[in-house]
């Protein structure tokens, strides 16, 4: 986490604490955990709530090309910063709940969705819209990676069941403020 990221992130949080999931951007340990299963072979990646681009930088470090990144950010404070830092990426100023209404891609070419959104503070219908929209773009084997600062998966079981999804914790880090966990959410395998 760079010092240049802390002030804009904190100011955005002060202006709207319900929209910004944490007081400070995630650190390198959380970013590494979030991107650990993603490589240059993953293909297009959608990042929800990139903020200052902490996870974005880690995705690039892991081999994802800028032109394969679609950054969906609702906080207008972060849009110019993201456009400046990642000029080859597609940066969209929109609510992630609108994914289902937009035509970002034809078919389902996306290999991963990385989410820094504060799902725990959102109403269930919004979480349902975000996941439903994301999985409309994900390939069959694609996954949705969600960071959380809570003790369990931020997506309630009722939503996972409704969308026929499963969640598993892929790791935790205490070298982040606050400590964080990352969940991999994927489609349930078909029954034989």
The mean pLDDT value for 96-118 works out to 92
Residue 106 reports pLDDT greater than 80: yes
pLDDT, tens digit, 9 for 90 and up, residues 71-96: 999 988 899 999 999 999 999 999 99
**What does the domain layout of the chain look like in residue ranges?**
3-187
pTM score, whole prediction: 0.88
Q: How far is CA 68 from CA 32, 65, 88, 167, in A?
A: 19, 5, 9, 25
pLDDT, tens digit, 9 for 90 and up, residues 9-53: 455 555 555 554 554 567 899 999 999 999 999 999 999 999 999
What pLDDT, on a 0 to 100 scale, did the predictor assign at position 152? 95
pLDDT tier, 5 (very low <50, low <70, confident <90, very high otherwise) = low
Secondary structure letter of residue 188 according to DSSP:
P
pLDDT, tens digit, 9 for 90 and up, residues 166-186: 999 999 999 888 899 999 999
Instruction: Give, for 160, the enclosing helix (H) or strand (E).
Output: helix 157-162
Secondary structure letter of residue 121 according to DSSP:
G
pLDDT tier, 192 (very low <50, low <70, confident <90, very high otherwise) = very low
Structure tokens given for 184 = 């991999």
CATH topology of domain 3-187: Rossmann fold (3.40.50)
Distance between CA atoms of residues 34 and 186, nearest Å: 15
């Amino acid at each position: 986490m760079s010092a240049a990221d802390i002030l804009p992130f904190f100011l955005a949080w002060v202006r709207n604490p319900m929209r910004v999931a944490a007081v400070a951007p995630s650190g390198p340990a959380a970013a590494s955990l979030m991107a650990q299963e993603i490589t240059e072979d993953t293909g297009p990646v959608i990042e929800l709530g990139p903020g200052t681009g902490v996870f974005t930088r880690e995705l690039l470090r892991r081999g994802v090309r800028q032109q394969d990144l679609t950054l969906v950010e609702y906080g207008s404070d972060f849009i110019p910063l993201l456009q400046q830092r990642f000029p080859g990426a597609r940066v969209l100023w929109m609510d992630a709940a609108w994914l289902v209404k937009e035509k970002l891609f034809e078919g389902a070419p996306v290999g991963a969705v990385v989410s820094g959104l504060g799902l725990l503070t959102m109403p269930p219908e919004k979480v349902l819209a975000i996941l439903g929209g994301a999985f409309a773009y994900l390939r069959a084997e694609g996954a949705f990676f969600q960071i959380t600062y809570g003790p369990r998966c931020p997506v309630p079981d009722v939503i996972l069941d409704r969308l026929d999804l499963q969640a598993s914790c892929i790791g935790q880090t205490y070298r982040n403020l606050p400590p964080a966990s990352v969940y991999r959410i994927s489609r349930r395998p078909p029954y034989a």
